[in-house]
Chains A and B, each alone.
Chain A
Amino acid sequence: MSDRQEWPLYEVFIRSKQGLDHKHVGSLHAPDAKLALQNARDVYTRRGEGVSIWVVPSSAITASDPEDKASNFDPADDKIYRHPTFYTLPKEVDHM
């Protein structure tokens, strides 16, 4: 149907039973936010994946430019001292 206006795109985030944070799982088209939630429930939680859903209009996301990947992220590569692996943890802390 070429004469039909495309529904806007939404990004879907699901919090799984185990996880504390919502994770991006994919995207879908929907006429509005409420139906996007409804659709996300049907498309992305059919196998008991989630306990909570967020949907965000894709147009609301500002993304970094892939062209800037080198300048954005490479400078961190040689700064291993920023990782907390150089500290000796007290035994009581166990897993961190």
Chain B
Amino acid sequence: MNCSSHHFDYLLRLGGSSLVLGQRMAEWIGHGPVLEEDIALANVGLDLMGQARMLLTHAGALEGRGRDEDALAMLRDVPGFRNYTLCELPNGEPVSQVGATRDYAFTLTRNFLFAAFQCELWKALGASRDAELAAIAAKSAKESRYHYGHAADWMLRLGDGTDDSHRRMQAALDLLWPYTHELFAADAGEAELEAAGIAPRSETLRAGWLQAVEPVLAEATLARPADTGFLSTGRFGRHSEHLGHLLSELQYLQRAYPGAQW
């Protein structure tokens, strides 16, 4: 299969998003509110890392310049990453009290919004003419459905829980919602990918995503934020200030000891 740069960028976008959010999940290990949730987030993170490995391996093979998953994950800097900005936001600082780096409401709400998106994405990519991508989508769909269920259960309980939990969930949702615009925004390459039968236009995923998101928000007594013109640009390699910090930790070992192996 010939690989256009759009095709490569698209795989980097999906692989990078799974990788970066997987790393955010890893940051919870040992800090979960209860043991069971600590393990749950580790499981979600491992699923995402697994998706990243497959997608980046596939991207490297298509590119044909001998870069493997590690080269793409560990040896590129911020502008080389194409992940959605939503995935790189810290686990809570923006909505928490000063000094708190982890907020469960924020973490779960992001997982909920992104897992709902991935469910739609994998459904559509299951029919991709890129056979490898279709196979990755089929495997990942089961994982994302679980992530969605886990997060949705907590949306209901915390959104429709105590006054404090409701306030925190609503604050997280208000902060995160504008970043979901990027998931469905058009870009220059998508017409080509759609014509080639490789990937759907992003906008076509939005209706299914809203169907998965809105009823849960309503049942959780959370107000669905209004859409604004805000559009983040992580998929073009223009990131928030947070990704560099995340990569410095993720890539530390390969930066400090190039070529180090387990």
A42 within 8 A of B: yes
**Nearest CB to that of A35 among chain B residues?**
B153
Q: A42-B43, A43-B39 are in contact. Are A34 and B153 (CB under 8 A)?
A: yes
Selected from B36, B39, B146, B150, the residue in CB contact (under 8 A) with A30 is B36
Is the interface on chain A under 10, 10 to 19, 20 to 34, or 35 or more residues? 10 to 19
- Chain A nearest CB from B105 CB (Å) reads 15
A81 within 8 A of B: no
Main secondary structure of the interface of B (DSSP, over half): helix
Q: Are A38 and B43 in contact (CB under 8 A)?
A: no
CB-CB under 8 A from A43, the residues of chain B are: 35-36, 39
A31 within 8 A of B: yes
CB-CB under 8 A from B36, the residues of chain A are: 28-30, 39, 42-43
Number of B interface residues at 8 Å Cβ cutoff, please give it.
Answer: 12
A7 within 8 A of B: yes
Q: A7-B34, A29-B34 are in contact. Are A42 and B39 (CB under 8 A)?
A: yes
B255 within 8 A of A: no
Q: Are A35 and B34 in contact (CB under 8 A)?
A: no
A91 within 8 A of B: no
**Nearest CB to that of B46 among chain A residues?**
A46
- Chain A nearest CB from B24 CB (Å) reads 18
Near B by CB (< 8 A), chain A positions 1-58 give: 7, 28-32, 34-35, 38-39, 41-43, 46
Q: A7-B34, A29-B34, A31-B157 are in contact. Are A38 and B149 (CB under 8 A)?
A: yes
B40 within 8 A of A: yes
Near A by CB (< 8 A), chain B positions 142-162 give: 146, 149-150, 153, 157
Q: Are A38 and B39 in contact (CB under 8 A)?
A: no
CB-CB under 8 A from A34, the residues of chain B are: 153
- Chain A nearest CB from B108 CB (Å) reads 12
CB-CB under 8 A from A7, the residues of chain B are: 34
- Chain A nearest CB from B125 CB (Å) reads 25
**Nearest CB to that of B40 among chain A residues?**
A42
Q: Are A35 and B43 in contact (CB under 8 A)?
A: no
CB-CB under 8 A from A28, the residues of chain B are: 35-36
- Chain A nearest CB from B169 CB (Å) reads 15
- Chain A nearest CB from B152 CB (Å) reads 10
> How many angstroms between the C-alpha atoms of A57 and B157 in the bound complex?
19
Q: Are A38 and B157 in contact (CB under 8 A)?
A: no
Task: For the complex of A and B, list the 7 residue pairs with the smallest distance between their C-beta atoms, beginning with the closest.
Answer: A39-B36, A42-B40, A42-B39, A42-B43, A43-B39, A28-B36, A43-B36
Jot down 14 A-B pairs with beta carbons below 8 A, ordered by A. A7-B34, A29-B36, A30-B36, A32-B157, A34-B153, A35-B153, A38-B40, A38-B149, A38-B153, A39-B37, A39-B39, A41-B146, A42-B40, A42-B43
13 further contact pairs, Cβ within 8 A, besides A38-B149, A43-B36: A28-B36, A29-B34, A31-B157, A34-B153, A35-B157, A38-B40, A38-B150, A38-B153, A39-B36, A42-B36, A42-B39, A42-B43, A43-B35
